[in-house]
Amino acid sequence: MGDKKKYITTEELMEHNRPGDLWISIQGKVYNVSDWVKDHPGGDAPLLNLAGQDVTDAFTAYHPGTAWKYLDEFFTGYYLKDFKVSEVSRDYRKLASEFAKQGLFEKKGHGTLYCLLSVAFMLSLVVYGVLRSESVLVHLFCGMLLGFLWVQSAYIGHDSGHYQIMSSPGYNKVAQILSGNCLTGISIAWWKWTHNAHHIACNSLDHDPDLQHIPVFAVSTKFFHSMTSCFYGRKLDFDPLARFLVSYQHYTFYPVMCVGRVNLFIQTFLLLFSRRKIPQRALNIFGIFVFWTWFPLLVSCLPNWPERVMFVLASFVVTAIQHIQFCLNHFSANVYVGPPGGNDWFEKQTGGTLDIACSSWMDWFYGGLQFQLEHHLFPRLPRCQLRNISPIVQELCKKHNLPYRSLPFWAANFSTIRTLRTAAFQARDFSGPVPKNLVWEAVNTHG
């Protein structure tokens, strides 16, 4: 009997790349996820960004083996006629399979328990110090400790968003709301919305929200042409105000990071009270209400306004260390314009990330995210496994001649400031014609 399978080409698959007509391919089988995109647990951005492409690598990275059985209901009956697998993708999928067989995705260690206990202990110290002490220095220390509590709590929220850190999905959701909404004031719904898009479109200037900070920062001169954000659906105008601010961004980077948390609060409110479909909107709003109840009450217990301002600023400044770390992981890495490509997914992750080299005893401080490339390649892998697989990832990058960049913390800061400084000097060139800037970009670009 002849081959009864129906085939379409990659070009035909790419025609189904819009809302309402959204097809993808996984291992050469074509699926229609036009309706599923509204209910996708990871949000619509990952599917919209990879629409009309083979997404096997991204699907492998984000889904456990149990998820494959749910694909059949979306199968169109078509197969890709010209389906091919690159050598790097083949090796990546093999590596993911080996990690699964070894049970690495289930071996979570006791990091979550220690982190939860430390957060509870720090919160107790902060409350006790504010309520029972009259010392200004104690209150300053409590503010700093609160900032560090937010950092560690954010790592719990991050981990619970990527994989199940608790004994059941229900408890995992509780951990997300407590560690995110209730303790830090940042909605887990907002985090999922932006973070999943960031992972899929890592360092795409027009698709990755984590690089879109106009008018304050620009990591590439390509932003000088008023790029349209495909994530936010609006134009990122490079107007005179943006030109002025970007011109001095290498000076303002650290001061802005010290108050960057205010922007996260604003983004949370803008999303939760928008018309956009938000999973569990009421629960997220309730969690935010909890934060904005206990935090102002705690601050109000301080004896005077100077100490209250000092307390809040101290907490923000300490938390800025985490915001800076996130920027170090990506600001000075390779960038590109356009949607992510399913067939070069691995290459985009290696090009767009930068690890921070540190001793193993400092892993708790960085929450595992110093192994940024390892995390991007295997986002479901518990943080305690990232250091173990790092040598294997390095070997894979070396085999395929792909970048694996790891810098000490201060060297990563220098690299980031250098990137901002380079773009800042270009922003100051008011009279430079476009061809000059494009030539400069081709010679000096970092991506």
Residue 377's domain comprises 86-447
Rounded Cα distance between 189 and 124, Å, is 27
Decide: 326 and 210 in contact? Cβ < 8 Å: yes
61 and 136 in a single domain? The answer is no
* Residue 60 CB coordination number (10 Å): 25
List Cα–Cα distances, 311 to 16, 148, 321, in angstroms.
53, 13, 17
94 and 56 in a single domain? The answer is no
266 and 320 in a single domain? The answer is yes
74 and 213 in a single domain? The answer is no
Q: Evaluate whether residue 90 is within a structural domain.
A: yes
Domain total for the chain?
Answer: 2
308 and 408 in a single domain? The answer is yes
67 and 206 in a single domain? The answer is no
70 and 135 in a single domain? The answer is no
Domain boundary among 39, 66, 84: 84
349 and 311 in a single domain? The answer is yes
**Domain containing residue 63: CATH number:** 3.10.120.10
> 30 forms bridges with which residues in the sheet?
25
Q: Evaluate whether residue 1 is within a structural domain.
A: no
| Structure confidence at residue 111 (pLDDT) | 85
Domain boundary among 53, 69, 84: 84
Q: Evaluate whether residue 120 is within a structural domain.
A: yes
Q: Would strands 355-357 and 75-80 be described as parallel, antiparallel, or unpaired?
A: unpaired
20 and 120 in a single domain? The answer is no
How do residues 197-210 score in pLDDT, each as one tens digit?
A: 999 999 999 999 99
71 and 191 in a single domain? The answer is no
| Structure confidence at residue 430 (pLDDT) | 54
35 and 94 in a single domain? The answer is no
Please, what are the averages of pLDDT over each run of 10 residues along the chain (447 residues)? 78 92 94 91 89 94 90 93 92 96 92 92 97 97 98 95 89 93 96 93 95 95 92 92 95 96 95 91 96 98 97 98 96 93 88 95 93 96 96 96 96 97 88 42 41
How do residues 334-348 score in pLDDT, each as one tens digit?
A: 999 999 987 788 999
41 and 91 in a single domain? The answer is no
364-368 contacts, C-beta under 8 A, 24 or more apart = 364/111, 364/114, 364/115, 366/325, 367/151, 367/152, 367/154, 367/155, 367/158, 367/159, 368/155, 368/159
